Amino acid sequence: DTGVSQDPRHKITKRGQNVTFRCDPISEHNRLYWYRQTLGQGPEFLTYFQNEAQLEKSRLLSDRFSAERPKGSFSTLEIQRTEQGDSAMYLCASSTLDRGDNEKLFFGSGTQLSVL
């Protein structure tokens, strides 16, 4: 299967610990997005990459969050010094632009983070 893969599926950590999530996009997709979703809410934009360049980062993201996409392939999202408010589903999506400049997102299954 060549869909979007996220690892791990679930992560339980203690407050103050650092966590890192990985996303492997669909291979031919040059855009990669990270979203955060809490119960009953829609996905909240965090950041996105075009190839290896991080084009935008949400102002909602504190300095404890960092994302990378070395070589424009997989991406990692790191949260330092986790807080209970970081508990959420972290979703990754990838896409590419077609000739009409349309962009269709394909999502992974997400990483559910629980901070105790």
Partner 1 sequence: KQEVTQIPAALSVPEGENLVLNCSFTDSAIYNLQWFRQDPGKGLTSLLLIQSSQREQTSGRLNASLDKSSGRSTLYIAASQPGDSATYLCAVRDDKIIFGKGTRLHILP
Which runs of E-coded beta strand occur in the chain? 5-7, 10-13, 19-24, 31-37, 44-50, 53-57, 65-68, 75-79, 88-95, 106-107, 111-115
Stretch that binds partner 1, among 15-23, 61-69, 74-82, 85-93 (CB under 8 A): 85-93
Stretch that binds partner 1, among 12-20, 21-29, 72-80, 103-111 (CB under 8 A): 103-111
Q: Contact with partner 1 (CB under 8 A): which of 30, 44, 52, 87?
A: 44
Is residue 41 a contact residue for partner 1 (CB under 8 A)?
A: yes
| Non-local CB neighbours of 36 within 8 Å, separated by 6+ positions | 43, 44, 46, 88, 89, 90, 91
Is residue 100 a contact residue for partner 1 (CB under 8 A)?
A: yes
Site of interaction with partner 1 (CB under 8 A) = 4, 33, 35, 40-45, 48, 56, 89, 91, 93, 100-110, 112
